[in-house]
Structures are given as structure tokens and as C-alpha cells.
Amino acid sequence: MVAAPGLGKRSWVLETVVMPAALLGRKIGMTRIFDASGKNLPVTVIQAGPCYVSQIKTAQADGYDAVQLAFEDVKPRNSTIPLIGHDAKAGLSPKWRRREIRVTPEEAGQIQLGQALTVEVFDGVKFVDVVGTSKGKGFAGVMKRWGFKGQPASHGCERKHRSPGTIASRATNRGFSGRPKRGMHMGGHMGDRRVTVRSLELVACDKDRNLILVKGAVPGAKQGLVMVRAAKRLYKRKAKLAKAS
Amino acid sequence: MSDQILQAVEKHYMKDSLPQLCVGDTVDVHVRIVEGNKERVQVFGGVIIRLQGAGLTRSMTVRRIVADEGVERTFPLHSPKVAKIEVKRHGHTRRAKLYYLRQRLGKEQRLRDRRRGLAHLIEPGAEGQDQAAGQEAVASEPATSTAAAGS
């Protein structure tokens, strides 16, 4: 474990593992497991990796240090010539998805182009963050989207039981000169956006099948693309647990 | 594909052998209880009124009467806390969930034993003999033989 200087500006930032402890994967689904004492753990199964390093970005050439991970093969006819060429430069077959992971220059030095990363990058990691795309809910009203209470069922309320109510008056400090305040919660498209769930416990790793089990739920539908990385920050209780190992 | 992987993961955590359980069965569930650093086994006996879930998440709800009060407990079948399940009797049911037992009192709650058919009368032996026995049964008592075929 080496402190990552680029990330270590605040006290709650954890020491990070030397390798880029991040992988792309697919959400497989949820189940439960029992620990030795019979305690029930809700877990999400994620097929993480293997990922391949398709590009290494350096501060000199690109302005910042990062590693680009590529995940899962794609048929060449479903890819494009520029992308096929991009993967070929790293000696890889055409890949389906790519994501960049920021690393420090020292970390970048240890990584080779085309290198494969498997769930072994999570050795010694106790908590992970999972980034995914949430399930789309379509156009949702304010009650579903923002948890508004709606209007009364009776007492003269007609045909507006789920409406948001007033959104601004003519000129108050809540609105501005007769307009609704910026960022006023209204109906609109819900879900289908990038969501990060922080510091989920990493329950188990299956190196043979490239599976990891994390405690709790993960954004998105089954088969959805997720990114798993070592937790960037932990609050006290979990930080203690992580250090104890 | 997802489900196959999930099943493979679940299999790793599942118990190898569980008795075949049906709704309406009378069972004794041996539950591990930890008190301080001591562990003991408590037996909870009753009728299965509900089987729910699949794979690792399969669970059953057992109902029994304690001091004139109905008590229901739900057990995840694959939990290590469930040490053993003994099936005592097979009850005859026409429902998948026996919630109606909650409205019943006293003797009304009893379930008729499931018909065993004639299978237990047939001596384990050559197939020819089995068939002959079956045919005899059909000739003599058609109603019972249907039950035998079903069991």
C-alpha cells in the first residue's frame, strides 16, 4: 500500500493500491449468502474483467496520467476502423467498451500496454465503489421523481392529486422576478443516468470465473455495464475495518 | 447467461442435501441457537404453510400452535442456522399456500395424510413383477391406482 500523492489532498482519502484497482464488468444479478454464523448478506454478483490496457496517457503527451481499460470483445463488423486501429495499437482484438482510470505517474510506469487485469487487482481491497447506469423510468412526475407529497385526496382537490403545486409566485425570493427558481424540482426524465454507489463491502472474489460479490445493490439492470474500483473514500467505521486487514 | 452464472455462484453456497419438502408437510426444524459462546439446538415442529423463492433464497414458513397461540417462523432453507429438517408426515393439500389454516381452530387445522398409493405395496424387484402388480391394482381398484401413478 502506497499513498497516492495525487489523490491524498484530504484526510479521508484512503491509501490506494499500486495497481489501478479498477475494472469494467457486467452486473450479473443479486442473491444472498450466509456467513459462518448464519447471518444473511444480500450480495450483487458482478463479472469483473478481464480488462486490457488499451492506452496509457501521460502528463507529457496528454496533460494528465491515466490508463484506458478495454472490456469484452466485439465483432469487428460492429466496431469502426478507427477503434479497431486504436485497439490494434495495444495489440488487442476489437473491444466493446473502454473507460479511463486516473493513475499517478509511478503507477503508470508499472503498467504495460495490452496488459490484462483480472479480479486480482482487488487483492487486499475491502471496499469498492461501483459506477453504473441506473434503470430508466421514463418521464416521471414529481411524486415519483422527487418524493413530493402531492395534493390532498379530497377537501375540494380536483384532478391534481399528484401535481407539484405552485412552483413560484410573481416576485418572491423563492422565484425570481416572476420566474421559477433555477433547479426547481419538476417532472421529467428519471433514471438512465450515471450513478455511483460508494464503499460497498467486497465479500468474495472468484478468480477462476472473474466474479466478485459485493454487499448491497448496484445501479442498473442485469447485464448492464458497471465500473468497479477500490473505494476512494471511507467513513470512520469502514476505514477502521479496511485498516484492520 | 446471467442466470446461469448466478446459479453457479449460488450452488457453491447451497447445502448439498435437503429433504424433499412440500407444502402441508409436518416437519421438525432443528435450529442452531447461540447464547453467549454456547451453542445449542432447538427444535421447531409444525406444518409448512408456504414454500417460497428458488435456489439459495428458498425459504419455508412453518406454523405451529404454542399455548393456544399460532406461531409462524420463516426459515431460509440454506442458512447454516437450520441444522436439520426432518419430515414427519406428508399432508394432503390442494393449495400452494396454506394461509387458510390461520383461520382454523383446534382439530380443524389437521391435514389429511397424503395418499401413498400402492407404490409401497410393490416389492422392490424385477420390472416385470412391478408391472404385473400395477395391472392387478388397476383391475381391482381403479381409483387408488390413479393415486399411485401420481405419487
Band of the pLDDT at A173, cuts 50, 70, 90? low
Lowest-pLDDT range, A47-61, B15-29, B132-146?
B132-146
How confident is the model over A128-137, as pLDDT tens digits? Answer: 999 999 999 9
pLDDT at residue B31, rounded to an integer? 93
Mean pLDDT over A8-35 rounds to 70
A226 close contact with B: CB closer than 8 A: no
Is the confidence at residue A126, as pLDDT, over 70? yes
How confident is the model over A195-241, as pLDDT tens digits? Answer: 999 999 999 888 888 999 999 999 999 999 999 998 888 877 777 88
Is the confidence at residue A8, as pLDDT, over 50? no
pLDDT at residue A9, rounded to an integer? 38
B42 close contact with A: CB closer than 8 A: no
Q: Which residues of A24-38 are buried (b: 16+ CB within 10 A; e: fewer)?
A: bbbbbbbbbbbeeee
**Residue A26 with chain B: CB contacts under 8 Å:** 2
Lowest-pLDDT range, A128-132, B40-44, B131-135, B147-151?
B147-151
Contact A38 B8 (CB under 8 A): no
CATH class of A2-136+194-244: mainly beta
**Residue B1 with chain A: CB contacts under 8 Å:** 223
Q: Which residues of A189-217 are buried (b: 16+ CB within 10 A; e: fewer)?
A: ebeeeebebebbbbbbbbeeebbbbbbee
Contact B2 A222 (CB under 8 A): yes
Q: Any idea which residue has 383461520 for its cell? A: B103
Contact A34 B55 (CB under 8 A): no
Q: What angle do CA B52, B56, B60 make, to 5 degrees?
A: 30
Residue A164 C-alpha, separation from nearest chain B C-alpha, in angstroms = 39
The pTM (predicted TM-score) of the whole model is 0.77
Question: What percent of chain A clears pLDDT 90, i.e. is strictly above it?
Answer: 48
**Closest in B1, B2, B78 to A34, CB measured:** B78
Contact A28 B6 (CB under 8 A): yes
How confident is the model over A40-65, as pLDDT tens digits? Answer: 999 999 999 789 999 998 888 899 88
C-alpha distances (whole Å) from A12 to each of A101, A131, A184, A200, A242 are 20, 20, 32, 16, 13
pLDDT at residue A3, rounded to an integer? 40
Band of the pLDDT at B144, cuts 50, 70, 90? very low
Contact A209 B2 (CB under 8 A): no
Stretch(es) of chain A classified as CATH 2.40.30.10: 2-136+194-244
Residues β-bridged to residue B45: B28
pLDDT at residue A235, rounded to an integer? 79
**Closest in B5, B76, B78 to A47, CB measured:** B5
Closest CA to A196 of A148, A232, A243: A232
User: Is the Cβ–Cβ distance between A46 and A206 less than 8 Å?
Assistant: no
